[in-house]
Each structure stands twice: as C-alpha cells, then as structure tokens.
Amino acid sequence: MLNDYVARWVFIAIAALVSAVGLWGLHVTIVWESLWSAIEFDILLVICAAAYSLVGAQAPRMRWSTAVVSDLLLSVLQLIVAVKAFTPLTYLAAASGYPLVDTGLTKLDAVLLGFDWNAEANWVANRPMIDWVLQQAYFSLYYQGALVFLIGSVSRPGDRNGEIIWQFCISLVLTCAIFVFTPALGHVAHIGTGWMKTLLMIRSGEWTAFDFSHVEGIISFPSFHTTLAILLMYAVRRHRWALAVFVPLNLLLIVATLSVGGHYLVDVAAGAAVAVVSIAAARLVRRELAKRRLPNFIEPWRTAAFGLRT
C-alpha cells in the first residue's frame, strides 16, 4: 500500500499549498514559532519510525512488532501534518463573505425536524449528570483517535490507518467547501464563544495572523464532530469489542454536538451526509490506487517504509 501512502502525502501537500496561497492572498501572516513547535514533534516521530524500521530489517523475528510501531508512528505523523495543512482551509472558507445562514438553519430545525435548540439545551442543563456525560463524550475525540490508530496498526500495519486518514482529509475538504456557502455562528454553548469571535473577526477582515498553537473550530454547518464520530465507528467495524465501546460513545458524542457544541440539528444531519460521502470517496480512491503499479525505483523501499511487505 505504499502507493496509497505516497498519494496521501501528495494530497496533503496540495492542501498545504492551497492554504499557503490563500493566506498569502488575504495578507495573513503565519506565526512560524507556533508551526515550528509542532514540526519538532513530527521530526521526533520520523526518527523513531526510521529506527524501528531498521530494527525490523535486522531482526526478522521482530518484524511484525516493529511494523506495528513504525506504522503507528507514521500514521500519527501523517495525521498531524494533515491537520496542520488542512486547518487553515477552515479559516479561508470563513472568509468567503457569504451571508450568515443561522436564520435559515433555525427554520430548517423547526419546520423539517421539529427541533427547538433552546428547549433541548435547557433540558440538558437541568440534568447535571446527563450534561456531564455529554461533555465527556464530546471531548473524547483525541482518545478515540489514538485507540483507532492503535487498532489499525495492530490489525493491518501499513494499510488500515490509511483508510481513516483518507476519510479525514476528504471529509474536511467537503466540510470546508460547504461552509464557504453556509457560514453560521451557531449557539452559545459549553465550548464558549471563542470560535464565534474568531469567525466574526475573519468575516470583518480583521484577521491578520494564523497561529497554529491557538486554532478554533469555527465550522458549524456541517458538524465535523458528527462526521468524525461516524468515521470512528466505521473504522472499528471489524472489531466487535471496539464497536461495543465506540458505538454508544459516539452516539452520545453526536447528541452532545447540540448542547455542548452549540450546533443546529440540521448541522448533525449534514455532518452525517459528509461522513457517508467521504467513506464512499475514500474507498473509490484506494481501489483505483491499488490498481496502479509502483515505479521500479520505489519498489525496493516498500519494506523499509512499512517494515512488512504488504
């Protein structure tokens, strides 16, 4: 699956280039110190992955374990870089200038779905235990992502994690593309108002610097939390024990996007649609990549890259 791995890096590089050009076009400077602090950790991951690959090459009996560790480190590295490359796109999407659609989303909630956000938020607020559980579920994404990568590396190193990385990248591109035309503030909820202030600052033209160490999740429609929740459940579909944990946890996470994340209910529906499209698109992309042969000069590096022949 080295073909797939290289293609992901190309896709991420394109996103980084688009982000850089977009920031330059809006005269937004990058706080390089914040980017360098993240790069230092990336370099450490590369060194560790290379070391484990070399150990596996010299000790055949350790090949599987070194492949697992190398794949986990390389997967985490690629995801971190992808986040850094794609995150500016969310801010650039907010700078499109299209009018806010909060009024329309509120009407859709009421007319199509019969949902009243204030009533739901008050109901949750009056039940502290439910409120606490929903908050824990909402902020569990990082821990879930780490466990999913570990499961992927152990079950099929060099392959399984590529699936969710593709889905993550594709879904974020789709989310940004939609948000260009549907900017919304959402509701004031547990996550505070920082992201609202950032969104309004971008829309008013006051945004002048991008700091990688302080990034707000400013996209309301579609709900990217909902998208990720579905992708995480899909990622562990082959493991019953993991499904027993991930399904209830992520269903709670999706519910929490309303009272904790301040999302409209229609945001959740749109986020679910993005997840479905991303899964289908990732499968198509990987199927096409699997049909292509690696160039002869790359083939010898297959084992060194993954620690195993895949």
pLDDT of residue 310: 40
Structure tokens at 6: 């290289």
**291 close to 299: Cβ distance less than 8 angstroms:** no
pLDDT at 117: 87
Task: Output the six-digit token pair for 77.
Answer: 């590295």
pLDDT value at position 305? 47
Amino acid at residue number 257: T
The confidence score (pLDDT) of residue 51 equals 66
Domain boundaries, the chain: 2-306
Q: Which residue, 69, 108, 88, is CA-closest to 306?
A: 69
Tell me which residue of 97, 91, 56, 47 sits closest to 210, measured CA to CA. 91
Residues 6+ apart with CB under 8 A from 99: 183
Q: What is the pLDDT of residue 52?
A: 62
Written as tens digits, the pLDDT of the chain (310 aa) is: 668 888 899 999 999 999 999 999 999 988 877 777 667 666 766 677 666 666 655 555 656 666 777 788 888 888 888 999 999 999 999 998 889 999 999 999 888 778 888 888 889 989 999 999 999 999 999 899 989 998 988 888 777 888 999 999 999 999 999 999 999 988 887 777 778 888 888 988 888 888 888 888 889 999 999 999 999 999 999 888 999 999 999 999 999 999 898 899 999 999 999 999 999 999 999 888 877 665 544 444 444 444 444 4
Residues forming a β-bridge with 30: 210
Q: 238: burial class by Cβ within 10 Å (0-12, 13-18, 19+)?
A: exposed
Which runs of consecutive H residues, i.e. helices, occur in 112-217?
A: 117-125, 128-138, 141-155, 160-181, 194-204
d(CA 182, CA 175): 10
Q: What is residue 307's predicted lDDT score, i.e. its pLDDT?
A: 47
pLDDT at residue 290, as a whole number? 79
243 Cβ contact list (under 8 Å, min separation 6): 233, 236, 237
